[in-house]
Structure 1
Amino acid sequence: MKLGKCLNTEVFVWIGFPGHADGVVLGFCVSFNVDVKNSMTFSGPVEDMFGYTVQQYENEEGKWVLIGSPLVGQPQNRTGDVYKCPVGRSESLPCIKLDLPVNTSIPNVTEVKENMTFGSTLVTNPKGGFLACGPLYAYRCGHLHYTTGICSDVSPTFQVVNSIAPVRECSSQLDIVIVLDGSNSIYPWKSVTDFLNDLLERMDIGPKQTQVGIVQYGENVTHEFNLNKYSSTEEVLVAANKIVQRGGRQTMTALGIDTARKEAFTEARGARHGVKKVMVIVTDGESHDNHQLNQVIQDCEKQNIQRFSIAILGHYNRGNLSTEKFVEEIKSIASEPTEKHFFNVSDELALVTIVEALGERIFALEATVDQSAASFEMEMSQTGFSAHYSQDWVMLGAVGAYDWNGTVVMQKANQLIIPQNTTFNVESTKRNEPLASYLGYTVNSATVSGDVLYIAGQPRYNHTGQVIIYRMEDGDVKILQTLSGEQIGSYFGSVLTTIDIDKDSNTDILLVGAPMYMGTEKEEQGKVYVYTLNQTRFEYQMSLEPIKQTCCSSLKHNSCTKENKNEPCGARFGTAIAAVKDLNLDGFNDIVIGAPLEDDHGGAVYIYHGSGRTIRKEYAQRIPSGGDGETLKFFGQSIHGEMDLNGDGLTDVTIGGLGGAALFWSRDVAVVKVTMNFEPNKVNIQKKNCRVEGKETVCINATVCFDVKLKSKEKTIYEADLQYRVTLDSLRQISRSFFSGTQERKIQRNITVRKSECTKHSFYMLDKHDFRDSVRITLDFNLTDPENGPVLDDSLPNSVHEYIPFAKDCGNKEKCISDLTLDVSTTEKGLLIVRSHNDKFNVSLTVKNKKDSAYNTRTIVNYSPNLIFSGIEAIQKDSCDSNHNITCKVGYPFLRTGEEVTFKILFQFNTSYLMENVIIHLSATSDSEEPPEALSDNEVNISMPVKYEVGLQFYSSASEYHISIAANETVPEVINSTEDIGNEINIFYLIRKSGQFPMPELKLSISFPNLTSDNYPVLYPSGWSSSENANCRPSSLQDPRGINSAQKMIISKSEDLKRGTILDCSTCKFATITCNLIPSDMSQVNVSLILWKPTFVKARFSSFNLTVRAELQSENASLVLSTGNQKRELAIQISKDGLPGRVPLWVILLSAFAGLLLLMLLILALWKIGFFKRPLKKKMEK
């Protein structure tokens, strides 16, 4: 296995915590050159989020790891802080809290440092010192706490130099006039005073804060008290409780508003110049002067009076009246946008339910500078949520700015630029696209040809996330490009990192994290997008993903071994992305990516090596925490790797999680090069050069040389202890060579190499007729102690392969040029009928070589699955190997010029595969070269049709073979049942499987004489039965006259049958029953036929035969039946007793001829014995 890839072993790093006797293990995968076994660890409370941010740092005092702990001081006062942890000291020293929040301050404001989460943003200044931020820093302004955020510029000696926060002069002053409808329809009035009390006690009332005046109207208007009447909330509450309902039959809303505008907002009644004017109108009915409302509202708009209108629907609901016109009127009173300035309640009692919402809308006006604005700008900006040092500017992300649309604060020296809300929110065609987009969640910059591009992420933009690339031109933002996410809720753009891979001072790639990208099982796997920088534009290149995380919350997944304890499930790969300096010393900078939710919130990090102007897609090393997700959580939450902290000249990596951080030392990289030389450099099997165990063979001497150097110190002589293993003939399962003196194909040795070193080994060739290809020699090497010291360079192989070829008998030529021909013949021609698997099919091959000797000549035979290789004839049996195909060695080790070899390959048939054709592809080849034009006669294809004869037994029988009809037999005129017709004949057919081939679907056709030529019945089908696999038809042939259904039938005259004795061919009409037989080991069909006696009783005949025929056919074209199994015939003899029938002429003639012949023979015999001689005559003559 190549060194540098992950082994299946784990080593553990122990991180101890205060109050814990045991440590927490950091398991790791042995991989490339980040040494996780000997790391330096730092610990702190998980609840303080110790390790949330980490930075490597160096000053005159030494080298440090800075660790952010944003919740230090919890639970009462979670101000947060930064710790400095010393490294490189001989003794282990604890981390020291810097107490930076104490000196982080903005003058002339009432600061709220509780929960400021200081240390949640931490970046080092390239010019010295660092920047630490508390994005939840707030200051008090009237009733509100403005969470502006704050950042402190810290000097190299850990002193706060200055603080940055977008704090503005407190502008919480409001002049509020409440216009109350006091007409008779308002009931109960106490609900109105309760509403006033709840609303007023939420206000900070005073001469330099909010002022409140109240106007009541009905038919007339009354000033209950002016804006400057009372100077505290308590005084206003007392006065409000004393207000009585003044009544009135009319509701003069326009008059009340206009009076408040003209009189209540005057300086004489306490109105202040430059302070926002707010009017709250509370009414329960349509106005009687609504014709004046439009003009009154226009006058209020001219004076920038913000109006909140409240419609009380109690009077309408009690009277079951329509509220439509009333609501429209009160909406017209409210300022724009109406949805933020208009309220309605069901009745007076419900007024208190809107107090909180109304108060928040009014308080929002305190935070805005614009007289007509009703939303936050920088008051909730959380500046310092992210931070970055570019060449000239400090970039501070302010995600809460402009109602959480966000922005980026740019600071340079004493210049502070806060872009306007519309600067980044370019007009979009999509509704609400930029709302709460969190611009500034992360910030970064890129350098190209001396120009600086600024980059900001807004992960909630359009719900899919977006990245904005812009340039600063004369203090103004110019947007150049935007990059958009692909999945809703993935938080694309929440993490940004740029990196100069090839160290040419120009940015090469941008990495964009989408840590909440959902995987296929809806788990937060995360994804990182990689963009390459081309001129000033970024172009998508690829995406990176973590190893698959399986959610085991219910133990239903088959890969789960234990249940997840923590939610959510996934990895959140891309939560932290760090550009680190060249870790593996290959001349390219690298990337480290955190996945803090992996392994049930234990966490892990991935290291990607740079290459060219980008990074490799596959990670080089993965470091899992091995933690339990409780005492150490989210390992990989923060990453930094810019410095050499132990003085070995190598960049080290710091990785933080909640509850701890670890400093991982990088290990040097050893470059090992190996060469192997052989003498002789070819194997000549005809020239033996040594004897082994009494046999002559070929011996080879191998020289192995090692060259070693360190990447970090190439000119320094380095001594390495290596372990190596040499394997002979490594491509073969069975080796053709062994090491001398060992009879083994492998040896393993240790060697100490100081710069370079060589060693020798010898081996010999075995006496095997196998010279098809070269002998491969493989050398694998590794460091003797891979866990300590340098690691092997993973860009170079740790396996070396060399080949020793075989010498060829080609005369003086370097290459053998052969010309093989292949002739093939078969024992069978045309269609093959296979009756059993023992049937043979033979192929004869003749291989001939016309030119140079052909080394390792062989024939390769590929055949269809319906054949089985059974053997060969005419060459040695061990010359052929069969493994899916047949490879036969011909004339080993070579086939000489003009030599030919003939042999025969024997096949049997595979009954498991029934195919329509036998297909065989044969080719002849060798290791020698052959011109392309000579290859046409090296291959032969055979394709022959084949059918398989099904073995079966076809039986037929009848219940009656002879039926006699009495001469005097009569038949009834009316037939009531089949018993009245005549004798029943049952025909039985049985088909049984007996061969090796599967039974095909069969068709059985049964024909029988049904009618005479004059349509008189002969054999009447009363029905049939069969086994379950048979389906016979047509059903209309079963009892076609319905006799079995008790239907009476009258008999007509019968046909005279004296013309002959056989009616099946010439005189009768046949009916056919067809049965389809589904494949089965046994099939049976029984047919019942009844001899129709009325046809024969009246006829004149002596006897004749009725023939019933059956034909069996296969429905499968490949499965055929033998001739003897295709047809069956049954003859039923019918005879009549007592009546001679008409004697045929040939019978008469034959009888006459036989009588004459008998008479002649009798006369001849009599003549021979002298019957015709007269003995008396002779006597008389004597």
Structure 2
Amino acid sequence: MQYIKLTTALALLPCVFSFNVDDKNGLNFHGSLEDMFGYSVQQFENSEGKWVLIGSPLAGQPAKRTGDVYKCPVDRGPNPKCIKLELPENTTIPNLHEVKDNMTMGTTLVTNPQGGFLACGPQYGYMCGQQTYISGVCTNVSSTFQVLNSIAPAVQECAKELDIVMVLDGSNSIWPWNSIIEFLVKFLKNIEIGPKLSQVGIVSYGEQVIHNVNLSQFNNTLSLLGKVMNLEQQQGVRTMTFLGIDTARKEAFTVERGARPGVKKVMIIVTDGESHDSHNLKNVTAECEKDDIERFGIAVLGDYNRNNRNHFFNVSDEFALLTIVDALGSRIFALEATSGNYTSSFEMEMSQAGFSAHTSKEGVMLGAVGAYEWNGTVVMHTDQGTMVPLNADFHDPLDERKESLAGYVGYDVQSASTPNGVLYITGAPRHNHTGRVIVYKLDGQHITVTQVLKGEQIGSYFGSVLQTVDVDQDSYTDILLVGAPMYMGPEREEQGQVYVFKLNEGMFEHQATLKPDNQTCCTSAHSHGCTNVRKNDPCGARFGTAIAEVSDLDLDGNRDVAIGAPFENDHRGAVYIYHGAKKTIKEKYVQRIPGPGDGVKTKFFGQSIHGVMDLNGDGIIDVTIGGLGGASLFWSKDVAELYANMTFDPSKINLQQPSKGCMLGGRETVCVKTRVCFSYSVKSEKDDTNSGTGESLINPFPFIQYVNMFTAKLDFRDPIMVSLEFGLAEDTGPVLDGDLPTSVAVMLPLNCTLAPPCVASVEMSKLHLPCYGSNFPTLCSLVIKANKEKFHVLITTRNSKDNAYNTKVMLSFTENINYVKVEVRFLAVFITVSFYIYIYIYSPLFNQVGYDSDEVNSTLFDNSVKISIPVKYEAGLRFTAHMKEDHIIVKEGEQHPRVFNGTSVIGEEVKISYTVRHAAPVQSLNTPTHSRVFLDLYYARSGQSCHQGKKKKFEESQIYFGSFHTFFGYYMIPCVLFHSFDVFTILQCRKLSK
């Protein structure tokens, strides 16, 4: 096959370009790296214009770091100025002592169906007494950037109504007593005392028990402090600790002494050592448990409640009591407690609601990773109220008793639409250290877990990022993407990967795993052998830190996906674009967008991604990508469909017929005109040049005029393949559809009688071997001579179908035949050609002649002829004779006897010397038996003859009769002759008388 390659670049009007997110032209927004500006991004549009919302969770450095959200215009010039929305100032929950410092507003941004957006600060807290609870808060913002309301579903009413009874060891062993008084004063100053707040009662004991203060006796802290500072020590020889505890249980927590029904009971015991009634320990403890009394013990060089370290304080002496006041106050509120027999479990107090958020059909899902001792949960907030699941809704204690908790349920949240309803999805990346994803259904207040997807590598953070995608836009979810950004690669680098699960009849099935380009770890910590040391650890990509559904970038009707890898390229970051196809996404990314930052002021590009809006009015979805220290808005380009077509004039070529007027090097040759036509369309419907007719003007001037191209080699058998590669010359405008070819190849066939491929039918007729000729010896009886004369063979072939270009005639013969030449011309249709093959031959001959060309199998039977030629060899001897006598006298009538008794009776002796010189090996040498006049010749041999390479003497008494043979005038003498020897034989002949 012959190839001709054409390459062309087109300039289309309007300009048409190649794929698809323009990473060279766009808008860049800059902020503080320390404020984490760019941690989250959202595209937004209202009546004022189009915006990019950028979260900055640590804005307010270095004092408060409340965080905030910035609005950045996209239609006001190349250097837009971002405006701070001041959301923390306008975010409030009534009737709370709020703690907004470090609230990290802007960590989470999602749009809502009402046209506004939701911004969350998961570190928002509030005070209960002296304690701070981190509940998290989200703020609903209108389309005009006004705060509508704040959502804090984890906020609970402070447990301010506490009935606290202090049981003091007043025996003689406590000294100095004033240290106990100082401890009480400092502790009580941290307790808010009032009718709807806390109440404090005091019981002291030694050998007896005394009620010093009743619960309802004082309604404010100041009045109680006055009483406490004048409290006297009871004294006593024995220490009846469990008598004091039991008396306080039975008498101090009664309605008569001011106890309030339903209010939590707390008992604080201060003792100095072992009790004299420790035998009552189990019974008294059991009764306290039965009455639901929370107990805290303080041992001054002693021992009480040691089994529960959370509720046990051991101090060296009475002076050290002041050091535990803050810790005691914290533990009364069960901060950071763990479940057990002596403490309260930590539920929603540290939930961090709003760590993640997602708008579903039912309402807003808020991830609360800190709920239930950091097991986590997902809160559903709707217009009708807030649904807070129980800890057991996501965790089965029996099934998970061997698995680590603190799994961070709610780290990310999503929902999936199916024909049978909505599936809710949440990730728990720390569950059992490998992570998992929980799929569940929600029916009112009831949760049913339908599926659990588990991670495969410890520490990979599987489930930390989730994204559902309706690829074909039929309103039903097709796939779920699960990020594991800390998945370790083969070199222990955090490469990360993303798992693709296909939704099939309500269940997710693993379909593929996406991975980034491999990152070479060459950091300062592993600098051995590194040629380009990277400054930042950890090394890798953290591919899957952000996953976003982007709305149909290539305009093929399928939604696409963008995945962030913020640690790539020494923490500069990158984003990968994947196209949707057939209810899933293609496993090979179509574009990788590198981070535009320098890795110093701006880094971690790909930390956040959002792409659901057309922000420049061209009808194509644009993509916003955030890092830390900045964010970038990339315009997406239109998609052009470009097609090419080639035609030839003439449509077939005949290499025997030069084109008229086509000259090359002064000779006529075969020329073909190639016509290349292009057609294109642009997918976007908003392009003015395409509206109405769907056509656009291409440059009317020909951009390819006359181009001479030649085949690389002379080939008469195969058709010519002309290939065209095409693209777009401009670097702006639309892009070529990546699913369409950018090349076309068309075959220029040879001129065949029927459809291509051309098929010849060459036959070889019976060989004619001439017996006579003026220039060549006869082949009827071929003699091989020493002078290597040439002979010829006449071969006749005939073609009855398509032209047989480059037809080969193959002649097979023995090794001692030399081929000289052949004469022939092309075989056109119905042409008969006879030609001579000239050959030197000098051995027995068996020849076979055949030909090779493209031909159907059914006509191959006449493609070869066998030739047999009878051969005789020329001896290759030089034979000379010399007779000493010039003449011999023969007497008339002389007779010889019939019986010879000796040589003397034969006649007169004639001496003849024969000389034989060889030119080639011979196998026989014969002597004549008759003279030319047919007289018998008799020989008596003398001298030397050769026999098997050795000389031998003949005796004169031996008489030999020889035979005489003539072949082309040469004598044949029986003798084996070897190269490089001359043989001289002298024959003595006597005339015989008749």
The TM-score, its normalising length taken from structure 1, stands at: 0.60
Alignment of 1:766-781 (within 5 A): 770=715, 773-781=718-726
Percentage of matched positions with identical amino acids: 55
* Counterpart check, 1:395 vs 2:365: yes
* Equivalent residue number for residue 297 of structure 1: 285
SS of match in other structure, 1:48: coil
How far is 1:238 from its partner? 7.6
Q: Which residue of 1 aligns with 2:380?
A: 410
SS of the residue corresponding to residue 524 of structure 2 reads coil
TM-superposed deviation, 1:210: 3.7
- Residue 274 (structure 1) shift: 2.3
Q: 1:586 to 1:223 in 2, by over 3 A?
A: same
Work out whether 1:502 is the aligned partner of 2:472: yes
> Would you say the 8 A contact 1:697–1:765 is kept in 2?
no
- Among 291, 295, 299, the residue aligned to 1:307: 295
Alignment correspondent of 1:113:
100
Aligned mates of 1:247, 1:602 — CA distance in 2: 72
Q: How far 1:92 sits from its partner (Å)?
A: 6.0
Matched, 1:784 2:729: yes
462, 469, 473: which one aligns with 2:443: 473
- For residue 293 of structure 1, what is the amino acid of its counterpart? L
Distance 2:39 2:715 in 1: 66
Question: In structure 1, which of residues 793, 801, 807 is the aligned counterpart of residue 745 of structure 2?
Answer: 801
Aligned pairs for 1:574-653 (under 5 A) are 574-653=544-623
Mapped to 2, the partners of 1:489 and 1:768 lie a distance apart of: 62
CA distance in 2, matches of 1:767, 1:777: 12
C-alpha contact 1:104 1:162 (8 A) present in aligned 2: yes
Name the CA shift for 1:413/1:251 in 2 (closer, same or farther; >3 Å): same
Counterpart residue number, 2:58: 71
Residue 513 (structure 1) aligns with:
483
Superposition pairs of residues 1123-1162 of structure 1, within 5 angstroms: none
**Number of the residue aligned with 2:111:** 124
Q: 1:342 Cα deviation (Å)?
A: 4.8
Q: Please tell me whether residue 552 in structure 1 is matched to residue 540 in structure 2.
A: no
Shift of 1:228: 4.7
> What's 2:394 paired with?
424
Tell me the SS of whatever aligns to 2:698. Answer: strand
Counterpart position of 1:140: 127
* CA displacement 1:966-1025 (0-9 Å, x = unmatched): xxxxxxxxxxxxxxxxxxxxxxxxxxxxxxxxxxxxxxxxxxxxxxxxxxxxxxxxxxxx
Is the 1:718–1:755 contact (alpha carbons within 8 Å) kept by the matching residues of 2? no
Q: Is the 8 A contact 1:707 1:753 kept in 2?
A: no
Give SS of 2:345's match.
coil
Q: Any conservation in 1 of the 2:167–2:269 contact (CA below 8 Å)?
A: yes
Shift of 1:854: 9.5
Match status 1:259 vs 2:239: no
**How many Å separate the matches in 2 of 1:811 and 1:376?**
85
Task: Judge conservation of contact 1:581–1:590 (CA < 8 Å) in 2.
Answer: yes
The 1:558/1:766 distance shift into structure 2, 3 A limit, reads farther
Task: Report the Cα distance in structure 2 between the residues aligned to 1:213 and 1:362, rounded to whole angstroms.
Answer: 15
In structure 2, distance between residues paired with 1:464 and 1:309:
39
Determine helix, strand or coil for the equivalent of 2:619. coil
For 1:189 and 1:486, locate their aligned partners in 2 and report how far apart those are by CA, in whole Å.
61
SS in 1 for 2:120: strand
- Say if 1:387 and 1:596 are closer, same or farther in 2 by CA, change over 3 A: same
> What's the secondary structure of 2:333's corresponding residue?
helix
Distance 1:63 1:632 in 2: 24
Q: Is 2:761–2:859's contact at 8 Å kept on the other side of the alignment? A: no
Distance 1:510 1:235 in 2: 63
Find the counterpart in structure 1 of residue 137 from structure 2.
150
Q: Equivalents in 1 of 2:216, 2:331: separation in Å? A: 23
Q: Distance in 1 between matches of 2:348 and 2:538?
A: 33
Q: After superposition, where does 1:702-721 map in structure 2 within 5 Å?
A: 702-713=674-685
Aligned-partner Cα distance in 2 for 1:755–1:456: 58
Other-structure match for 1:728: none
Distance 1:137 1:289, change over 3 A: same
| Cα drift, residue 503 of structure 1 | 1.4
**Structure 2 CA distance for aligned equivalents of residues 219 and 791 of structure 1:** 94
User: Residue in 2 aligned with 1:178?
Assistant: 166
- Residues of 2 paired with 1:668 and 1:876: CA distance? 69
* Secondary structure of the structure 1 residue equivalent to 2:631: strand
What is aligned with 1:104?
91
The separation in 2 between residues aligned to 1:174 and 1:367, in whole angstroms, is 18
Equivalence for 2:979: none
Q: Give unmatched runs, 5+ long, in structure 2.
A: 1-16, 765-796, 810-814, 840-849, 865-994
Question: Which residue of structure 2 lines up, in the alignment, with residue 52 of structure 1?
Answer: 39
Instruction: Determine the C-alpha separation between the residues in 2 that align with 1:162 and 1:901.
Output: 105
| 3-state SS, counterpart of residue 247 of structure 2 | helix
Matched AA of 1:711: K
1:386-438 CA distances to partner (integer Å, 9 max, x unpaired)? 11111231111122222222211112213221112222223353436362222
The aligned residue for residue 626 of structure 2 is 656
CA distance in 1, matches of 2:37, 2:653: 68
In structure 2, relative to structure 1, the CA distance for the partners of 1:892 and 1:351 (3 Å cut) is farther
Query: AA paired with 1:161?
Result: L
Match of 1:62 in 2: 49
Deviation of the 1:357 alpha carbon: 5.2
Q: Read off the aligned partner of 2:129 and give its amino acid letter.
A: G
* Rounded Cα–Cα distance in structure 2 between residues aligned with 1:307 and 1:46: 48
Q: CA deviation at 1:533?
A: 1.1
The number of aligned residues is 789
Determine if contact 1:67/1:84 at 8 Å carries over to the other structure. Answer: yes
Q: 1:715 to 1:145 in 2, by over 3 A?
A: closer
1:224 to partner: Cα distance: 4.8
Q: Per-residue CA shift, 1:643-683, capped at 9, x if unaligned?
A: 11111111111112222222111111121111112234455
Contact 1:706-1:757 within 8 A present in 2 as well:
no
Offset from partner CA, 1:910-944 (integer Å, 9 cap, x none):
xxxxxxxxxxxxxx998847869999xx9xxxxxx
For 1:897 and 1:240, the matched residues in 2 are separated by 136
Provide the rounded CA distance (Å) in 1 between the counterparts of 2:64 and 2:817: 96
Against the structure 1 CA distance between its residues 164 and 373, is the aligned structure 2 distance closer, same or farther, given a 3 Å change threshold? Answer: farther
Confirm or deny: 8 A CA contact 2:218 2:224 kept in the other structure.
yes
Confirm or deny: 8 A CA contact 1:454 1:469 kept in the other structure. Answer: yes
Distance 2:406 2:602 in 1: 33
Return the alpha-carbon distance in structure 1 between the equivalents of residues 858 and 435 of structure 2: 61
Q: Which aligned pairs between 1:21-420 and structure 2 lie closer than 5 A? A: 32-89=19-76, 94-166=81-153, 167-182=155-170, 203-204=191-192, 208-228=196-216, 248-283=236-271, 285-309=273-297, 314=301, 330=305, 338=308, 340-342=310-312, 358-364=328-334, 374-420=344-390
- Residue 516 of structure 2 aligns with an amino acid whose one-letter code is P
Shift of 1:31: 7.0
Q: Secondary structure at the match of 1:293?
A: helix
User: Structure 1 391/796 Cα, relative in aligned 2: closer, same or farther at 3 Å?
Assistant: same
CA distance in 2, matches of 1:405, 1:112: 24
C-alpha deviation, 1:339, in angstroms: 5.3
**In 2: Cα distance, 1:691 partner to 1:533 partner:** 67
Pairwise CA distance, 1:200:
5.4
Structure with bigger RCO (C-alpha 8 Å, 6+ apart): 2
- Structure 1 residues 854, 55: closer, same or farther in 2, change over 3 A? same
- Normalised to the residue count of structure 2, the TM-score between the two structures is 0.70
Alignment of 1:545-944 (within 5 A): 545-554=515-524, 562-689=532-659, 690-713=662-685, 753=698, 770=715, 773-785=718-730, 787-805=731-749, 814-815=758-759, 928=854
Q: Distance in 2 between matches of 1:698 and 1:91?
A: 59
Superposed displacement of residue 269, structure 1: 3.8
2:972 paired residue number = none
CA–CA separation in structure 2 for the residues paired with 1:669 and 1:214: 81
- SS of residue paired to 2:432: helix
